[in-house]
């Protein structure tokens, strides 16, 4: 069997006087039987090329499964008179959403060590029952009304992130006749639970309308807000205080928020602050005021407040401090908690109401990630934290804001002989071509020799930070002597807003050259060698993978590109595609700007495939992905095969999933085992 050879049908495109030829436009026709047949042929070729890894795949899958406590229970979260939690059961793909009544005076969450159902449990939704007979299942909204009597939930059975919204009466267990198709993520209840707000999308998959639905009212849903500017997405939420419904319209660089009293859901919405181009802000309700986290004259954001009754001028609360990026603020009855980052690490700052004094919560490890977990209760002095590192499994703490006592509620079990002391984490710094120092986080099993196989992971877009995280699947690499590293390249948010700004628009190439600099540094420092180094990234990180394959093919032994955005230029040129117009403030608008067009063409992977020796490449995608369309990697692999023959280029398409890949946990583990086995093969450890 030979690798599939995609039919070449040249199509010319001209922009700003530049004409390019695309031979594989026909692969964009998702419903064409020939396209489906081609993707199936690619899957068959990939399976044949990796058949020798079947035992390794099975071993890795069993390691992931063997280290995972399959029957488990999350730490319950208090909301009103109930504790809410999720259970998983051995052998079942999906979680079970549950609650049980809180006993009088019960302040600490009950946690059972064996995952057994607690006494008095009420099953709200069983994902396994909902997914019965379906190839794919995802839960979008899961939203209990303030009085605990109704549940709004939405389901997706295709992976295209178009959900159907339903309402369940929790007093009777009946799913009501209310059914709303084609909705987006998110919902919000009115204070009395009679009215449900939800969001729908336009033809370009942009959430642009907020609707008001009267439960079992028999009336037509009412349009509350519509955003005509195609750069903006909209969302809706109920504040933690349950006093206001907030409608947020946000582009990549500009925000506008409207507020509706939650006890008067038909009232007109009040604009908290009119939109100003380039000014981003978020709103949190706290007593008589709205807290405003904003970047107006504050690159790394500042905190202010305004009147909740009559929003107007912003009164400073926390001034701008360059180098300390304020990311969010959470309001509780007597405290504020600010999530921030400094020197590449996340942190939490606590302010007592009525005081300008604050303190930061300390954590012991040199590399870690911390943030607020689920905290639906407003009137509380105890908050829930999530903590993890490259060596510490996900941990849930309760933190007393008054006494500053921290109580571990649960650490994710890792079964078998796992010992966190058997692993060590490190921080290195690479130097980019422009002299910028780029941080790298590493983890390895203690005793791993120098010049070891290494997997380098990266993303670098949308100010998304790759903060340290723990992975059970990663242990299968570490225990085989593979070092895992994360390149914190520009375009992410690890070092503040400037770090992001220096990796977007006409500075986007910094993302790619930073990653190459990290790879070169790790080789020069003796951590690994080019013939033992594999790169991995997904989505916008897949764009990164394609770009570095063109920039430095000699630096890598293999590249894994998952749902990769490798045809960025052609996608951003087409405003009819999902997400395109909203992306112009991230990448630039090549339709209008010859400069942006030329710049994007200089780096987009699909346009820059060259007749050179490339490392082995594994591209993984999903047919129903609405964020990065399947044909981007399909056409990329086809062009690689035609332009740079002799390379080992594989395409694996999940034929019944979306951007996140397979939906069930066992299917996800099998997918990860497939990728891990391929990586191990590339570095000689399969």
Judged by average pLDDT, the poorest of 94-98, 194-198, 626-630 is 626-630
Judged by average pLDDT, the poorest of 467-476, 530-539, 573-582, 656-665 is 656-665
Give me 594's structure tokens. Answer: 């010859």
Q: Which residues pair with 258 in a beta bridge?
A: 247, 271
Look at residues 271, 269, 273, 270 and name the one whose alpha carbon lies nearest to residue 292: 273
pLDDT computed for residue 663 by the predictor? 84
Q: What is the CATH number of the domain that holds 570?
A: 3.40.50.1820
Is the confidence at residue 657, as pLDDT, over 90?
Answer: no
Task: Compute the C-alpha angle 323/328/332, nearest 5°.
Answer: 130
Residue 650 lies in a domain: yes
User: Do 580 and 494 share a structural domain?
Assistant: yes
Burial status of residue 270 (CB atoms within 10 A of its CB: 0-12, 13-18, 19 or more): middle
Average pLDDT of every residue of the chain: 95
Task: Transcribe 509-559 into DSSP letters.
Answer: HHHHHHHHHHHHHHHHTTS--GGGEEEEEETHHHHHHHHHHHH-GGG-SEE
Domain that holds residue 121: 71-129
User: Do 75 and 60 share a structural domain?
Assistant: no
User: Do 43 and 177 share a structural domain?
Assistant: no
Is the confidence at residue 198, as pLDDT, over 90?
Answer: yes
User: Do 236 and 162 share a structural domain?
Assistant: yes
Residue 507 lies in a domain: yes
Give me the active site residues, please.
539, 625, 659
Look at residues 371, 402, 398 and name the one whose alpha carbon lies nearest to residue 387: 371
Q: What is the CATH number of the domain that holds 242?
A: 2.130.10.120
pLDDT computed for residue 662 by the predictor? 84
Q: Is 199 within 8 Å of 570 (Cβ atoms)?
A: no
SS3 253: coil
Residue 81 lies in a domain: yes
User: Do 84 and 48 share a structural domain?
Assistant: no
SS3 1: coil
Q: Is 337 within 8 Å of 330 (Cβ atoms)?
A: yes
Last residue of a domain, one of 129, 148, 164: 129
Is the confidence at residue 498, as pLDDT, over 90?
Answer: yes
What is the spatial distance between Cα 563 and Cα 559, in angstroms, rounded to a whole number? Answer: 13
User: Do 453 and 524 share a structural domain?
Assistant: yes
User: Do 61 and 156 share a structural domain?
Assistant: no
Q: What is the mean pLDDT of residues 337-365?
A: 91
pLDDT computed for residue 113 by the predictor? 65
Judged by average pLDDT, the poorest of 270-274, 488-492, 578-582 is 578-582
106-144 confidence digits (pLDDT tens): 888 877 667 778 888 999 999 999 999 999 999 999 999
Distance of CA 311 to the CA centre of its chain: 32
20-45 confidence digits (pLDDT tens): 999 999 999 999 999 999 999 999 99
Q: Cα–Cα distances in Å, from 502 out to 466, 489, 549, 590?
A: 17, 10, 21, 19
Give me 677's structure tokens. Answer: 């086995």
Q: Is 161 within 8 Å of 626 (Cβ atoms)?
A: yes
Q: Is 92 within 8 Å of 61 (Cβ atoms)?
A: no
282-306 confidence digits (pLDDT tens): 999 999 999 999 999 999 999 999 9
What is the spatial distance between Cα 384 and Cα 377, in angstroms, rounded to a whole number? Answer: 10
Is the confidence at residue 557, as pLDDT, over 70?
Answer: yes
Pairing verdict, β 270-273 and 255-261 = antiparallel
Give me the percent of the chain exceeding a pLDDT of 70.
100
Residue 175 lies in a domain: yes
Residue 191 lies in a domain: yes
User: Do 120 and 156 share a structural domain?
Assistant: no
Number of domains in the chain: 3
Q: Cα–Cα distances in Å, from 288 out to 76, 333, 354, 425?
A: 30, 11, 12, 46
Q: Is 216 left (phi over 0), alpha (psi -120 to 50) or beta?
A: left
User: Do 533 and 627 share a structural domain?
Assistant: yes
User: Do 270 and 190 share a structural domain?
Assistant: yes
Residue 107 lies in a domain: yes
Q: How many CB atoms lie within 10 A of CB 63?
A: 19
What is the spatial distance between Cα 427 and Cα 348, in angstroms, rounded to a whole number? Answer: 22
Last residue of a domain, one of 279, 301, 316: 279
More confident residue, 357 or 505: 505
Task: Transcribe 130-158 into DSSP letters.
Answer: HTTT-S--EEEEEEE-TTSSEEEEEEESS
Q: State the pTM of this model.
A: 0.96
More confident residue, 329 or 120: 329
Give me 21's structure tokens. Answer: 């030829």
Give me 568's structure tokens. Answer: 């960025």
User: Do 185 and 112 share a structural domain?
Assistant: no
User: Do 250 and 106 share a structural domain?
Assistant: no
Residue 327 lies in a domain: no
Last residue of a domain, one of 108, 129, 150: 129
Q: Is 476 within 8 Å of 676 (Cβ atoms)?
A: yes
Residue 331 lies in a domain: no
Q: What is the mean pLDDT of residues 548-576?
A: 96
């Amino acid at each position: 069997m030979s690798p599939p050879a995609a039919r070449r049908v040249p199509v010319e495109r001209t922009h700003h006087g530049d004409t390019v030829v695309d031979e594989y436009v026909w692969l964009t026709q998702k419903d064409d039987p020939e396209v489906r047949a081609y993707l199936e042929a690619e899957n068959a070729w990939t399976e044949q090329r990796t058949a020798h890894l079947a035992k390794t795949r099975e071993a890795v899958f069993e390691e992931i499964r063997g280290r995972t406590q399959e029957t488990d229970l999350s730490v319950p979260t208090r909301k009103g008179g109930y504790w809410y939690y999720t259970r998983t059961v051995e052998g079942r793909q999906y979680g079970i959403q549950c609650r049980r009544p809180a006993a009088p005076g019960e302040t600490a969450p009950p946690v059972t060590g064996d995952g057994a159902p607690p006494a008095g449990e009420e099953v709200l939704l069983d994902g396994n029952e909902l997914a019965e007979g379906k190839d794919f299942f995802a839960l979008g909204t899961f939203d209990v009304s303030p009085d605990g009597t109704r549940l709004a939930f939405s389901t997706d059975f295709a992976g295209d992130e178009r959900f159907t919204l339903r309402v369940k009466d929790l007093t009777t267990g009946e799913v009501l006749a209310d059914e709303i198709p084609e909705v987006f993520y998110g919902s919000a209840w009115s204070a009395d639970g009679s009215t449900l707000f939800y969001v729908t999308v336009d033809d370009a998959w942009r959430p642009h309308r907020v609707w008001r639905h009267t439960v079992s009212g028999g009336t037509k849903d009412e349009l509350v807000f519509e955003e005509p500017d195609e750069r903006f997405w909209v969302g809706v939420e109920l504040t933690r205080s349950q006093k206001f419904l907030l409608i947020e319209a946000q582009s990549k660089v500009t925000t506008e928020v409207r507020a509706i009293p939650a006890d008067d859901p038909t009232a007109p919405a009040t604009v908290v602050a009119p939109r100003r181009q380039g000014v981003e802000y978020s709103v949190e309700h706290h007593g008589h005021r709205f807290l405003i986290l904003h970047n107006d004259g504050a690159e790394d954001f500042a905190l202010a407040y305004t009147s909740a009754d009559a929003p107007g001028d912003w009164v400073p609360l926390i001034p701008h401090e360059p180098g300390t990026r304020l990311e969010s603020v959470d309001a509780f009855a007597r405290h504020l908690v600010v999530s921030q980052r400094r020197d590449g690490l996340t942190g939490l700052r606590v302010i007592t109401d009525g005081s300008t004094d604050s303190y930061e919560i300390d954590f012991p490890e040199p590399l870690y990630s911390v943030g607020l977990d689920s905290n639906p209760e407003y009137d509380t002095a105890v908050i829930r934290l999530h903590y993890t590192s490259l060596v510490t499994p996900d941990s849930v703490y309760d933190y007393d804001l008054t006494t500053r006592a921290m109580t571990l509620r649960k650490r994710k079990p890792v079964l078998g002989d796992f010992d966190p002391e058997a692993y060590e984490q490190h921080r290195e710094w690479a130097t980019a071509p422009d002299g910028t120092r780029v941080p790298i986080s590493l983890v390895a099993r203690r005793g791993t020799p120098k010049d070891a196989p290494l997997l380098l992971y990266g993303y670098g877009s949308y100010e998304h930070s790759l903060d340290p995280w723990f992975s059970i699947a990663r242990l299968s690499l570490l225990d085989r002597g593979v070092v895992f590293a994360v390149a914190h390249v520009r375009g992410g948010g690890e070092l503040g807003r400037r770090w992001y700004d220096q990796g977007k628009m006409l500075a986007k190439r910094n993302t790619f050259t930073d990653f190459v600099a990290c790879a070169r540094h790790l080789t020069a420092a003796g951590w690994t060698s080019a013939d033992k180094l594999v790169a991995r990234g997904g989505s916008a990180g897949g764009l990164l993978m394609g770009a570095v394959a063109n920039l430095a093919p000699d630096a890598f032994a293999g590249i894994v590109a998952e749902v990769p955005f490798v045809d960025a230029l052609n996608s951003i040129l087409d405003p009819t595609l999902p997400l395109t117009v909203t992306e112009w403030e991230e990448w630039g608008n090549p339709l209008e700007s010859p400069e942006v067009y030329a710049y994007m063409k200089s780096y987009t992977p699909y346009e820059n495939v060259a007749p050179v020796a490339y490392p082995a490449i594994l591209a993984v995608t999903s047919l129903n992905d609405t964020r990065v369309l399947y044909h981007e990697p399909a056409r990329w692999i086809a062009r690689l095969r035609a332009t740079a023959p002799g390379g080992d280029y594989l395409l694996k398409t999940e034929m019944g999933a979306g951007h996140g890949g397979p939906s069930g946990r066992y299917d996800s583990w099998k997918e990860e085992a497939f990728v891990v086995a391929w990586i191990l093969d590339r570095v000689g450890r399969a």
